[in-house]
Structure 1
Amino acid sequence: MIPAPADRVLVDCAVYDGVGDGVTTDRGIWIDRTGEIRAVGTSDDVLSEARGATVVDMAGAYVMPGLTNMHVHLGLGLPGGMAEAVQRANLAELVLLMADSARQTLHSGVTTVRLVGETRYADFALRKAIDAGAVDGPRIYTAGHALCCTGGHGWDADALEADGADGFRRAVRQQLRAGADLIKVCISGGIAGEHEQIDTPQLTDGEMAAVLEIAHDWGRKVTAHAGPADTIVRAVELGLDCVEHGYELTDDLTRVMAERGVWYVPTITVSRCEQFFIDSGVPGWMMDRALSAGPRHWESLQHALRNGVPIALGSDMPPHAPYDETTATVRELEFMVEAGMPVADALRAATVRPAEWLGAADRIGTIQAGRQADLIALRDDPTRGVSALRTLHLVMKAGRVYRDDTGLTAPRGRR
């Protein structure tokens, strides 16, 4: 991390602000000592306001809001060697493992993450350390432990087991007590559970209703790991806020989701990331299940796109993980566009739309006065194609530079 001066002005930026569809050239961005954006305008206008600030010439670089990844496990432990490493780690080792993933995530241009299942409450300690500036990492919103029934999806990884309505009420309250920003519940089977199938229903209506009741009473949203349409329909009718994966969505279901404002985080990469599974040493049964789910998963995404379901970016793979000569985060966006999402919508799905779901649109997700200076710089224009994100060379969070490949922000004498 490069320490930030009192105030700085980025000049000669080509800005995609997350509000409009295009890029505006010759923009200046005034960032104050707190890491907040004070003003955005022409370079000359901003310079005339920010007298005495350090000037950083961005040399025409494309600047856009930092990315938000809405489906992240910093302590990911897939079946096989990854799970064994996490399970063998003591709490200190686990936090260090997660801190390393957090640092790499931030360097990949992801300045905010939504954690949807960690273990031993290590995520809360890491969030506190990042907020205090002791550790480099993205801004964290976390669900704490995911919740599942006894033997349900994730029971042997990060999920907390419960049974019956009262059991799930208690489990929700335990996450709220720890400081959870949202609640994650597993309502069906999935790819990584050996003794289940994707379409295995795992919660009763009474259990789902209990989770939703307590979370909503406390002002928290609920997102659900879910595969089959019939299980998701029941949860949507009960008031679910968001669906993760949705491997088997239907046209009718996505129409209902759109009408009720239920969000979708497709994680389309997880059913087409064969090399990642090979490199991670996952067992054959998991790889076969994931890849065989791919065609139906793709149809689910297309149903959601066609019917106007609100969609946010989430990779499930580590945000920084190498994938087709880029990162899992960028590849997820490329897949979304390949499935039919307009480029402008894809960019919003990675910036302002997640901020809306998180209730943080007044702080992050756009380049506007009053927002945090979470910025990334690219060589290419992202509004012409999301693959421009492959040209990322600078990452800033709250006004501090965490990556600068070309030395744009270095003091003049050190360039």
Structure 2
Amino acid sequence: MSLLLENCTVVDGRIQPVEDAAVWVVGERIAAVGPRERVLAEAGGDATRIDLDGAWLTPGLANMHTHLSLTLPGAAGDRLKRMGPHELALYMADGARRTLHCGVTTVRCVAEKDHADFALRRSIEAGRTPGPRIFTAGQALVCTGGHGHESSDTLECDGVDGFRRGVRQQVRAGADLIKVMISGGIAGRHESIDTRQLHPDELAAVLQTAHDWGRRVTAHAGPAPVITEAVELGLDCVEHGYELTAELAALMAERGTALVPTLLVTRCKEFFDELGVPDWMQRRSLGAGERHLESFAMAVAAGVEVLLGSDMPPFWPFEGTNATVRELEHMSAVIGPERALYAGTLGPVRWLRAEQDLGTVEPGKLADLIAMDRDPAADTSAFRGVRWVMQGGAVVRDDRSGVRP
């Protein structure tokens, strides 16, 4: 199929906006992009023309901290834990569909139950299930009794041999990366954010084994001493980073360790109330909010690569938009809208080593595109108005023609 997307302004994380632009899509990929008259001449008269009515066209968003099977303490989490494998698969498939339709065309799953994420990915790739492109860690690795051990989205390991085996089990299942819990967090009742959970030799075993297999490692982590140790050993990415210091931020920037701050998790009382999250967790989470934001600002000032990740399900309705966009708005308040656009598109794709196919609007890339009525490089809240979504050259949402989620 040959499609010509016209009457739009094209913008991504690397170029200045191209006004009065057109994008020619052939099959799954972009064949040409640029001023409308030039692209029209390249496409010829056989392409089906789609008028975007003056929209701003960007790459689809990439959410780097996703749990489609998330269970938090509380009534809603308990109901999800009682689901059998078939019901869980359908629940996750519904979440994948919602995620795609809100403009998130790529996700990085960082702990899903029972390896159901691999089955979901195969179904999406086969065209049986609508959903984003999935990069996944499989089950997160955790010490016995460590953060998240209560759920089947983690695998308990102990000792050097145990953690090496845990890495290899995820790789065998098809993991694109490895996730490890190296400290406590806000959702563990019998721990604190600064509880150390791996010994240095265990962490070194995870990193060495994963890197030997060509997989990057990201770590759930809060306190500076634990993260410093991990960065010095070669950690590729930090999730949350609740309690960074200026010295640690400088080290992360020097070593190329990225940060997915997940700012929403310490400023989401409405979400917690909706799920029936108990008071002890709400106090711990919301009480960490100010320090969490300070840590993020330190990372930005030091030049750390910061990437979009919501932790909340990407599609979840929250504060007038979805969790992905709300997280990006919080980031934008510190880094500005142009850098936020990069942090939500090309930045994540580069970390995933997928920039050959994704992350920008240019010839040769997969046509994963979204459209809205305002310029997101001027105001990140423009993403609240996503009204058109294309994945792999197929329009999956078009509010103006009746193709809706």
- Which shifted more, 169-178 or 75-84? 75-84
In structure 2, the residue matched to 1:365 is 359
Once the two structures are superposed, the pairs formed by residues 176-255 of structure 1 within 5 Å of their partners are 176-255=171-250
In structure 1, the residue matched to 2:61 is 67
In structure 2, the residue matched to 1:331 is 326
Contact 1:76/1:82 (8 A) holds in 2: no
1:84 alignment partner, one of 68, 78, 86: 78
Letter in 2 for 1:149: C
Q: Deviations over 1:125-146 (max 9, x none)?
A: 0000000000000000000000
Matched, 1:160 2:155: yes
Matched, 1:143 2:137: yes
In structure 1, the residue matched to 2:396 is 402
Matched, 1:299 2:284: no
Q: Tell me, what secondary structure is at the counterpart of 1:176?
A: helix
Q: Distance in 2 between matches of 1:284 and 1:400?
A: 45
Contact 1:57/1:408 (8 A) holds in 2: no
In structure 1, the residue matched to 2:101 is 107
Size of the aligned set, in residue pairs, is 402
Q: Deviations over 1:223-267 (max 9, x none)?
A: 000000000001011110000000000110000000010000000
Q: Tell me, what secondary structure is at the counterpart of 1:395?
A: strand
In structure 2, the residue matched to 1:267 is 262
Once the 2 structures are TM-superposed, how far is the Cα of residue 58 of structure 1 from its aligned partner?
1.2
Q: Distance in 2 between matches of 1:14 and 1:385?
A: 15
Q: Tell me, what secondary structure is at the counterpart of 2:50?
A: strand
Q: Tell me, what secondary structure is at the counterpart of 1:288?
A: helix
What stretches of structure 2 of length at least 5 have no aligned partner? none
Letter in 2 for 1:118: E
Q: Percent identity?
A: 56
Letter in 1 for 2:345: T
Contact 1:58/1:408 (8 A) holds in 2: no
Once the 2 structures are TM-superposed, how far is the Cα of residue 409 of structure 1 from its aligned partner?
8.2
Q: Tell me, what secondary structure is at the counterpart of 1:93?
A: helix
In structure 2, the residue matched to 1:13 is 8
Matched, 1:45 2:38: yes
Q: Deviations over 1:72-101 (max 9, x none)?
A: 000011111233223211111111110011
Q: Tell me, what secondary structure is at the counterpart of 1:60?
A: strand
Contact 1:16/1:63 (8 A) holds in 2: yes
Contact 1:168/1:211 (8 A) holds in 2: yes
Q: Distance in 2 between matches of 1:107 and 1:232?
A: 35
Q: Distance in 2 between matches of 1:310 and 1:325?
A: 28
Q: Tell me, what secondary structure is at the counterpart of 1:111?
A: strand
Q: TM-score, normalised by structure 2?
A: 0.98
- Which shifted more, 326-335 or 400-409? 400-409
Q: Distance in 2 between matches of 1:83 and 1:280?
A: 7
Once the 2 structures are TM-superposed, how far is the Cα of residue 17 of structure 1 from its aligned partner?
2.8
Q: TM-score, normalised by structure 1?
A: 0.95
What stretches of structure 1 of length at least 5 have no aligned partner? 1-5, 411-415
Q: Distance in 2 between matches of 1:143 and 1:342?
A: 30
In structure 1, the residue matched to 2:48 is 54
Q: Tell me, what secondary structure is at the counterpart of 2:335?
A: coil
1:283 alignment partner, one of 260, 269, 278: 278
Q: Distance in 2 between matches of 1:23 and 1:60?
A: 13
Letter in 2 for 1:175: Q
Contact 1:319/1:328 (8 A) holds in 2: yes
Contact 1:37/1:371 (8 A) holds in 2: yes
Contact 1:56/1:409 (8 A) holds in 2: no
Q: Tell me, what secondary structure is at the counterpart of 2:160?
A: helix
Contact 1:56/1:408 (8 A) holds in 2: no
Q: Distance in 2 between matches of 1:155 and 1:409?
A: 41
RMSD: 1.1
Matched, 1:313 2:308: yes
* Structure 1 outlier segments of 4+, above 2 Å: none
Letter in 2 for 1:110: V
1:377 alignment partner, one of 371, 388, 395: 371
Q: Distance in 2 between matches of 1:117 and 1:178?
A: 13
Q: Distance in 1 between matches of 2:221 and 2:376?
A: 31
Q: Deviations over 1:299-335 (max 9, x none)?
A: 1000001110001100000111112101111111111
Letter in 2 for 1:363: D
Contact 1:270/1:317 (8 A) holds in 2: yes
Contact 2:139/2:179 (8 A) holds in 1: yes
Once the 2 structures are TM-superposed, how far is the Cα of residue 408 of structure 1 from its aligned partner?
8.6
Contact 2:12/2:361 (8 A) holds in 1: yes
Q: Distance in 2 between matches of 1:120 and 1:67?
A: 26
Q: Tell me, what secondary structure is at the counterpart of 1:215?
A: helix
Q: Distance in 1 between matches of 2:76 and 2:364?
A: 41
Q: Tell me, what secondary structure is at the counterpart of 1:371?
A: coil
Contact 1:258/1:308 (8 A) holds in 2: yes
Q: Distance in 1 between matches of 2:276 and 2:402?
A: 40
